[in-house]
Amino acid sequence: MARAIYPGSFDPVTNGHLDLIRRGSRLFEHLRVLVAVNSRKEPFFTGEERVEQIRGEVSDLANVDVDQAEGLVVSYATKHGFDTLLRGVRTTTDFVAEYQMALTNRSLEPHVETVFVMPSHEWSYLSSSLIREVVLSGGDVSRYVPPSVEKALRKKLRT
């Protein structure tokens, strides 16, 4: 079985992300959740906070670990011996962007494959940016994120 990386910003991690992580853990021998850190963006949570949030939610999955990195995900994959990228595709717009990224990644690192997985129906519309917008507007996100993440979001807004 392949070893896969599930990369993303996870800012914050949502129940949709966790659904894909759990499903990916059944598809692959080893799944690494890779928190992508982009120094040009202003994240809501630090990379370390996102890593800890995800670790707390996947601690029951023996074949899943979490790391963070900056730079090209395919370069990270090659450096660390991974041969597959797991990507979630919610909409046709996602597919177009993900398809383009997968082809670019293949041209950069031909041995790294990309596997697309559809989200569960209940999370197909969910995104981290939507969660941030709802929280910043004072809305309830308790059904979209784990309780620990909701608590961290609320705490962040008070500081």
Beta bridge mates, 115: 86
Sorted by where each starts, the structural domains of the chain and their CATH numbers stand as 3-158 (3.40.50.620)
Active-site entry in 3, 90, 106, 156: 90
Q: Is 132 a catalytic residue?
A: no
The per-residue pLDDT for 1 is 63
Q: Annotated catalytic, 79?
A: no
Mean per-residue pLDDT for 135-143? 91
pLDDT digits (tens, 9 = 90+) for 55-95: 999 999 999 999 999 999 999 999 999 999 999 998 888 89
Give the Cα separation of 118 and 86 in Å (integer).
11
DSSP code of 49? H
What six digits make up the tokens of 27? 């598809």
What residue spans of the chain are helical by DSSP H? Answer: 15-27, 47-58, 73-80, 92-108, 128-136, 147-158
Rounded to two decimals, what is the model's pTM? 0.93
CA–CA gap between residue 104 and residue 114 (Å, rounded): 11
Catalytic residue selected from 41, 143, 155, 158: 41
50: annotated active-site residue: no
DSSP state of 145: S
Q: Say if residue 147 is preceded by a cis peptide, omega within 30 of 0.
A: no
Selecting among 9, 23, 128, 132, the annotated active-site residue is 128
155 is an active site residue: no
